[in-house]
Chain A
Amino acid sequence: MHNIPRRRTFAIAAWAIGPLAAILVAHQAMAESRIAAPPNARWSAECGTCHVAYPAPLLSAQGWHRIMSQLDRHFGTDASLEPAAAAEIGAYLERYSGSSRRTAASPDSMRITETAWFVHEHGEVPSAAWRSPAVKSAANCAACHTGAEKGDFRERGIRIPR
Chain B
Amino acid sequence: MTKKSRILVWDVPTRAFHWLLALSFTGAFVTAESERYRDVHVLLGYTLLGLLAFRLVWGFAGTRHARFASFAYGPRSVLTYVKSLLARSPQHYPGHNPAGSWAIHGLLALGVLAAASGYATYNDMGGHWLEEAHEGLANAMLGLVVVHVAGVLVSSILHRENLVRSMLDGLKSGSEAEGIGRRHRLVGAALVAAVAAFWIAGPQRVTAAWSPPAQPGAANEQGAAGQRHD
Chain A residues with CB under 8 Å of chain B are: 1-4, 8, 11-12, 15-17, 19-20, 23, 26-28, 30-32, 36-42, 44-46, 49, 56-57, 61, 78-82, 84-85, 88, 92, 95-103, 116-117, 119-120, 123
Contact = CB atoms under 8 A, between A and B. Distances in A.
Given A42-B224, A82-B230, A32 B89 contact: no
A99 B212 contact: yes
Contact of B210 (A38, A85, A100): A100
Given A15-B149, A31-B34, A82 B211 contact: no
Given A32-B36, A38-B221, A99 B154 contact: no
Contacts of A96: 214, 216
Contacts of B29: 23, 27
Interface of B: 26, 29-38, 88-90, 122, 124, 128, 131-132, 142, 145-146, 149-150, 153-154, 157-158, 209-214, 216-217, 219, 221-230
30 contacts: A4-B154, A4-B157, A8-B157, A11-B153, A15-B153, A23-B29, A26-B30, A27-B29, A27-B32, A30-B31, A30-B32, A30-B33, A32-B33, A41-B223, A42-B223, A42-B225, A46-B227, A46-B228, A49-B229, A57-B35, A80-B229, A88-B223, A92-B221, A95-B214, A96-B216, A99-B210, A100-B38, A116-B124, A119-B128, A120-B131
A158 to B, nearest CB: 15
Given A23-B26, A27-B32, A103-B35, 20 more contacts: A2-B88, A4-B158, A12-B154, A16-B150, A17-B146, A32-B33, A32-B35, A37-B216, A38-B216, A41-B225, A45-B226, A46-B227, A61-B211, A79-B229, A92-B223, A95-B214, A97-B214, A100-B38, A101-B124, A123-B132
A118 to B, nearest CB: 11
B150 A12 contact: yes
Contacts, number: 124
A16 B210 contact: no
Contacts of B124: 101, 116
Instruction: Please report whether the interface of chain A is mostly helix, strand, loop or mixed according to DSSP.
Output: helix
Nearest to B35: A100
B223 A12 contact: no
Contact of B222 (A26, A30, A40, A79): A40
Residue among A27, A61, A82, A88 having the largest count of chain B Cβ atoms under 10 Å: A27
B229 A102 contact: no
Nearest to A18: B149
Given A38-B219, A79-B229, A123-B128, A27 B212 contact: no
A80 B214 CA distance: 26
Contacts of B226: 45
Instruction: Please report whether the interface of chain B is mostly helix, strand, loop or mixed according to DSSP.
Output: loop
Given A100-B35, A123-B128, A45 B225 contact: yes
A36 B35 CA distance: 11
A30 B222 CA distance: 29
A80 B230 contact: yes
A121 B122 CA distance: 16
Given A38-B221, A41-B224, A46 B33 contact: no
A102 B33 CA distance: 12
B223 A1 contact: no
A97 to B, nearest CB: 7
A41 B37 CA distance: 28
A162 B187 CA distance: 60
A22 B98 CA distance: 29
